[in-house]
Structures are given as C-alpha cells and as structure tokens.
Amino acid sequence: METRPGEAIARGDGETGREVPGNRRGDRLADAPLVARDRASLAAARAALPSPVGLVPTMGALHAGHVALIDRARSECASVVVSIFVNPTQFGPGEDFERYPRAFEADLAVCESRGVDVAFAPTIEAIYPPGHSTVVDPGPLARVLEGAVRPGHFRGVATVVTILLGLVRPDRAYFGQKDGQQTVVIRHVVRDLGLPVALSIVPTVREPDGLALSSRNAYLTPPERAAAPVLSRALRAAADEHARGERDADRLRRRMREILAEAPMGVPDYVSVADAETLGELDVIEGPALLSLAVRFPSARLIDCWPIG
Ligand code: AMP
C-alpha cells in the first residue's frame, strides 16, 4: 500500500492509491498524481517510487509538447515525476514572469491522464530557500543566441535544473528539442558537474501548420498566429537546402531571412547556423549543426530550431 508520508502531500483527487500487482505504474492503479509542494514532501514521495525514475521539468500550462516528454518518460521509466515551476530566475527584467500562463488544475488533470506518479509544484521558497545564494553559470554557451538577447536566462535555467535534479534524483530527465540551446546547455552542465542523470531529448511537437507548440503561443493575436508558421517555414527551407547539398552557412542564413521577411509583423532577433555542440556560428557546415531563430511579434517572442547533419 502506498504511504502518504506527510500532510503536504495530497493526491489531486484526495484519494489513496490502491495496490495492483503488475500495474504499469508498479503498485497502483493510474489515478491522480501525488502533489508535493515542499522539499520534505517530495523526499517522502520520492522514497516510495520504483526505479528508474524519470523527471520532466516544466513551467506548467501543459500542452501536447509537454505530453510528448511525459509519454516518453512513461515508456522508459517505472516512475514519472513532473515538476511544475515558473522559475523567476530565468526571466529577465521586463519579461513575462508575472503574466506567464498558470493553469495548475488543468496541469494536474493532464498529469493524471498520462499516468504521472508525482507532480512536484514547489513554492518559490522550496526551490530557493531563504539565504539561497548558489548559482550555476554554464559559461560561454549561455551567452550566445538566446543568452545574448536574454542575459542571465541560462544561468537561471541551469540553476533551477540542477536544484530539481538534486531534489528529485531522477535516473533520466526529459527535455524538448524545441528549446535547442537549452538542451545543449543542460548537457554541458550535466557533464561538467558529473551529475548522475541520463538525458533524453524529445522531438518538437508542432501544430499542423508547422508552428512549434509553446505556452507563449497563447499571447499571439489572430493575425500574429496566422503569421507565426513563418519560423518553421524558414527552418524547413534551410534544412531542405542542406539536404540538397548546400554547405555554405551564410546561404542558409540568407534563405531563412528571406522567408522571415514574408511576415514583416515579426522582427528577427537572430538567425543562426551553429555547431550543434559549441553553438559557434559556422561558415561551412561539415557535421551536426543547429538551425535556430527567434522572432519578435508585437505580443510574443517566438523561438524555434531544427537540427541538421
Ligand atoms: P516549458 O514548460 O516551456 O519550460 O517546457 C518544458 C519542457 O517541455 C522543455 O524541455 C521544453 O523544451 C519542452 N517543450 C516545450 N514545447 C515543446 C514542444 N512543442 N515540443 C517538444 N517539447 C517541448
């Protein structure tokens, strides 16, 4: 019988799990996940989880992109923990921390429907206790592309992911290809710090018109939403040229800019053809590379990327 180790752990539906030998979640019927909001209740819930444990870190407002990560974790791990935390330290001044979409009840329903075992939805103090002062600075990788436009962003990401990995102690952690630079930064941090976790990168989930799913798509006005597939069109065109043998990175950047210009309500922040590991801009594409871009629409800033080679 599963224990309910503390007051701060509550099942989303208020019920206790039932023991079912051979159930795919190990020991109980698929029902609402345990909800942990502080470190002690997470530790208690974690202690009861069969291994391997998979962690899917999110900022909530869950959509089909997040579900792809959860489903991958579910298929590879005996237990799945989803963290839901809008991390203040990865937002810059004037960014959308305050208005970032929050939908906790709906998120819990998604977790329940995908067989998540524990939803870790910490308070800010549970992640950053009073006196917190340790940060993880990933170095140069964090200062190009998104990091150049959003100084401090990846220090916030690397810090919160390191804390989440320390608290949850997963065997595997799941990240989306959608945030391509984030996957490179996290790989680097895990390697540099020798963190005992395997990483899985899950392909980007897109709308039928190519727009990558993102919680921030909700900000788009109807005309912006109609224009937004220009990002994936630009990436796809460049990836096609690469597949046809084009190796001149500048030609691919020009091709992407040409296509982005078809949607003038979006202003590009950057258009990049970079080495997939160092994220250094390339002249000639000789191996694995990352096409990436960021476009500022009046209501939202969108990013997308496409691995090639
Ligand atoms: P977020 O809640 O936006 O911080 O995203 C949490 C995780 O979901 C990150 O690893 C993202 O890369 C991933 N993710 C977000 N959108 C998508 C998508 N459209 N396809 C695949 N993964 C995604």
Ligand 1 center from residue 247 Cα (angstroms): 29
Closest by CA position to 279, among listed 210, 187, 206, 214: 187
Mean pLDDT of 150-166: 98
DSSP 155-224: HHHHHHHHHHHHHH--SEEEEETTSHHHHHHHHHHHHHHT-S-EEEEEPPPB-TTSPBP-GGGGG--HHH
Q: Which of 55, 67, 69, 102 to mutate to test the pocket of ligand 1 (most atoms within 8 A of CB)?
A: 69
Atom in ligand 1 nearest the alpha carbon of residue 206: 19
Q: Which domains does the chain have, with CATH numbers?
A: 10-202 (3.40.50.620), 215-308 (3.30.1300.10)
Per-residue pLDDT of 62-86, as tens digits, reads: 999 999 999 999 999 999 999 999 9
Active-site residue, from 66, 153, 188, 242: 66
The Cα 54–Cα 69 span in angstroms is 10
Q: Chain-wide mean pLDDT for the chain?
A: 92
- pLDDT above 80 (res 153): yes
Regarding pTM above 0.85, the answer is yes
Beta strand pairing status for 79-84 and 53-58? Answer: parallel
Residue 66 annotated to the active site: yes
Mean pLDDT of 260-282: 98
- pLDDT above 70 (res 25): no
